Amino acid sequence: VKVSIYGAGQAGGGVAALLARRPGVEVLGPFGRDDRERALTGGADVVVIATTSFLREIAPDVRDAIEAGANVITSAEEAAYPWATSPKLADELDALARARGVTVLGAGLNPGFAFDALVLTATGATAEIASLRVERVVDLSGFGPAVLRRIGVGHAPNAFAAGVSSGEITGHIGFPQSMWLVAASVGVQIEQIDREITPILAEREHVAQHVTVPAGATAGFEQRYVGVVDGRPWFTALFLGHVDPVSIGEPTRDEIHVDGRTPIDLAIVPGLNAQTGSAAVLANSVRRVLDAPPGWLTVADLPPATPAWGTSR
Ligand SMILES: NC(=O)c1ccc[n+]([C@@H]2O[C@H](COP(=O)([O-])OP(=O)(O)OC[C@H]3O[C@@H](n4cnc5c(N)ncnc54)[C@H](OP(=O)(O)O)[C@@H]3O)[C@@H](O)[C@H]2O)c1
C-alpha cells in the first residue's frame, strides 16, 4: 500500500515514522508545500493531509487527491465532521469521492478519538444517554510553534483577548465537530453550542520544547463547550491545555462520563499523548479507510482504528 504524506510538520512526520515500520506499506514523503503535486497526485493509494486545521484550506488538496484516485485521511480538525463548517463543501467533496470510488476521513486524537470515537464506544454499555461530560487535560509542551501560537500559548493577556476576539487565537479546535459527530450517531439534534475560553497565566517562566513562556504570559487555557439539547446541557466538553500542567496541580488525564440509566465513568491516567496518540490514530486509519465504502465518512462510520489487522471471522 502506498501512503503519501502531505505536511512535513509534527503530525505528518509522526505518521510517516509509524507507517515506515509497517510491512507492506510504502511511505512517500512527508512532502512540504513545494512538493504539493507529488504528494497529492503521485499515485498513492492513500494521501494523509496533515497541514492545517481548516476545511476551506484543505479542500483544494482533498479535491486534487480524490481526482487522482487516492483515498484521503486528514488531521484537519474541521474535517472530522465537515458538515459543521460547510455542508455545501462537505456534500460536494463527498459526492466527488463517491463518484471516484474513494474514501475521505478526518481523524486524529481530538477530534477523532478522545471526544467522539471513544465516547461512542463507552455509550455502548448503557441503555440510554441523559448527558455526556468529557474532560481532557493535555500537556502542550511538545506542540509545534505554529500550533502553540494559534491555540493561545505564549501571549500577553491583552494580546490573548484580542486574538480570541479576532479569531486568530482559537484554543483547541474540534469540539463542535466531536459533538455533532456523537449527536448524529445517536440520533440527537444539538440546538446550540455555548463556548468559552479562559487564559491560564504563567506564575513563573516555563521553557518548553518550542516556546518559552515568560511569567505573566499565557502558559495555557481552559475551554468549555456545551452542546445544548432540549434547552439543557447534553454534551459538556472541558479541555485544559498547559505547557506544564503538573505545575498547576493538573496532571494529564482523559475522563468520559455518560449519565444515563447505567452511568459510566471512564478515566485514562495519565491522559492520552497528543502527539503519539494522534499519529497512531492517523496511521491506524489507513487499513480501515482502504476497506471502507466510498464517500466522506467520519470515525463513527468505521470500525475502531487498530495498529494491526486480522479478520473478524
Ligand atoms: N485531529 C487531531 O487530533 C490532530 C492531531 C494533530 C494535528 N492536528 C492538526 O493538524 C495540523 C498539522 O499539525 P502539526 O502538529 O503537524 O502542525 P505543524 O507541526 O505546524 O506542521 C504543519 C505543516 O504543514 C504545513 N502547512 C501549514 N499550512 C499549510 C497549508 N495551508 N498548505 C500546505 N502546507 C501547510 C507547514 O508548513 P510551513 O512550515 O511551511 O507553514 C508545516 O510543515 C494542525 O492544524 C493541527 O492542529 C490535528
Cell of 71: 483515498
Whether 177 is in the pocket of ligand 1, judged by its Cβ within 6 Å, is: no
CB 197 within 8 Å of CB 172: no
User: Residues 238-250, buried b or exposed e (16+ Cβ, 10 A)?
Assistant: bbbbbbbbeeeeb
The secondary element (H helix, E strand) that includes residue 141 is none
Ligand 1 site-directed mutation target among 52, 115, 239, most atoms within 8 Å of CB: 52
Whether 278 is in the pocket of ligand 1, judged by its Cβ within 6 Å, is: yes
Q: Can you list the residues of the chain whose pLDDT is less than 70?
A: 311-312
User: Residues 79-100, buried b or exposed e (16+ Cβ, 10 A)?
Assistant: bbbbbbbeeebbeebbebbbeb
pLDDT value at residue 309: 75
CB 77 within 8 Å of CB 108: yes
State phi, psi for 182 to the nearest 5 degrees: -65, -45
Ligand 1: which residue has its CA nearest to atom 2? 108
pLDDT value at residue 313: 73
pLDDT value at residue 200: 98
Whether 108 is in the pocket of ligand 1, judged by its Cβ within 6 Å, is: yes
State which ligand 1 atom lies nearest to the alpha carbon of 113: 3
Whether 147 is in the pocket of ligand 1, judged by its Cβ within 6 Å, is: yes
Q: Distance, CA 263 to ligand 1 centroid (Å)?
A: 37
- Does the model's pTM come out above 0.85? yes
pLDDT value at residue 39: 98
